[in-house]
Amino acid sequence: MQNTDSPPPETRRSPLHDTHVKLGAKMVPFGGWDMPLNYSEGTLAEHAMCRSSAVVFDVSHLGTMRVTGPGAFDALQRAFTNDLDRIEPGRAQYTHLLDPDDASVLDDIIVWWVDSDRFDVMPNASNTSRVGEALGGGASAPEIHDVTSTRAVLAVQGPQARSRLAEVAPEAAAVRRFRVAEVKIDDVPVVVAGTGYTGEDGVEIAVPVDAAEKIWNLVTSAGISPAGLGARDTLRLEAGLPLHGHELGPGITSLQAGLGWVVRFDKPEFRGRDALLAEQARGPHRLLRGLVVDGRRPPREGQTVLLGGEAIGEISSGNFSPILGQGVALAFLRPDVDDGDSVTIDVRGTEVAAVVTKPPFHT
């Protein structure tokens, strides 16, 4: 694999770092990056803005691996679980990278198929090199460049994301769900995808580093307010979306996470296919489910879930749902548990009642 950029320092900074600090953001370490947790209004206000109007997140910490050349398509098809034959250039696809031996989800990834021989592959912050390794090798290996440090990525999300963005960047605002397009914003070339991680409509925009602040300011000038990683996490949890390291990761397969639709077994080959087929045949020993708490108390990762006094699983993510005004969680539970079952959660010695509920929780 070629790496065109200098090696990353200990903690990486977004091209928008100074902009966040000027806005009064509380900065926290996340996946090796120093990123905004929240701005002055706080996580709950930012969450509410995303559900009711529109917000912008800096998600530059997600990696971008640019995979190009005639071997690019085949390399991605062999590495990832989803099937690129189901889409075409100008589209985005959610997919998984599996461990070849036990089918653990090493990363969950969005592929932006920008142009016939160009794919921008977006892994999680800490997984960029792992994805590069999976795609490399072989006689017809594609060119792979880690272009993470050349761009910033802005996620504009919310029911008014498109209408507000259209005031300042109409071409970007017009990119539909799971479409990808190269457009210009104020003469700056950007790549836009109709993707996101909040359960709301919106777009994600990759912009060159030297124009990042200008475009951020343009977006916020349209009444789209900044939101940090705190709101990003409560939003994705409320939407029932998985977070790597919690609902996906070592020992967790796509089938256990309820994401079998990401896996196309009709493809002849992909990493981890045999191991995942074996699990499908015997049936996963646990499944990811949603829980809604009776009351405000947030469940937390690692807490035990009980049914009739018997442990049936463990919380993978939990927090407070601002929309419900109740605690919510995702949990890996015994596969025989049904939606509507009443369970309890052992919250540091206190049994808290909850109901098994199919996410998303906010709609």
Partner 1 sequence: MNVPEGLRYSTDHEWVQIDGEVAKIGITDYAQDALGDVVYIDLPATGVTVVSGASFGEVESTKSVSDLFAPISGEITAVNDELADQPERLNTDPYGDGWICTIAMSNPDEIDALLDADGYQTLIDG
Contacts to partner 1 by CB under 8 A = 26, 37-38, 42-44, 230, 233-234, 296-298, 300, 319-320, 327, 348, 350
Q: Nearer to partner 1 by C-beta: 80 or 320? A: 320
How far the first Cα of the chain sits from its last, in Å, is 43
Q: How far apart are CA 159 and CA 249, in angstroms?
A: 31
Which tokens go with 308? 């009739």
Of 97 and 293, which CB lies nearer to partner 1 in the complex structure? 293
CA-CA-CA-CA dihedral for 10, 16, 17, 21, to nearest 10: -170
CB of 44 to partner 1, least distance (A): 4
Distance separating alpha carbons of residues 53 and 51, to the nearest angstrom: 6
The sign of the dihedral angle between the CA atoms of 217, 209, 84, 270 is: negative
Helices 229-238 & 43-52, crossing angle to 10 degrees? 50
* Gap between the Cα atoms of 313 and 54, Å rounded: 36
Q: State the nearest-atom distance from the C-beta of 232 to partner 1, in Å.
A: 11
Question: Which segments of the chain does DSSP mark as H helices, in order?
Answer: 17-22, 43-52, 72-79, 128-135, 161-166, 170-173, 212-221, 229-238, 273-282
Shortest distance, CB of residue 237 to partner 1, whole angstroms?
Answer: 10
Q: How far is the CB of 319 from partner 1 (least distance, A)?
A: 6
Q: How far is the CB of 217 from partner 1 (least distance, A)?
A: 26
For residue 111 the two structure tokens come to 């592929």
Least distance to partner 1, CB of residue 198, Å: 15
Answer whether the bond into residue 298 is a cis peptide, omega within 30°: no
| Gap between the Cα atoms of 240 and 223, Å rounded | 27
State the minimum distance, in angstroms, from the CB of residue 186 to partner 1: 35
Q: Which residues pair with 80 in a beta bridge?
A: 97
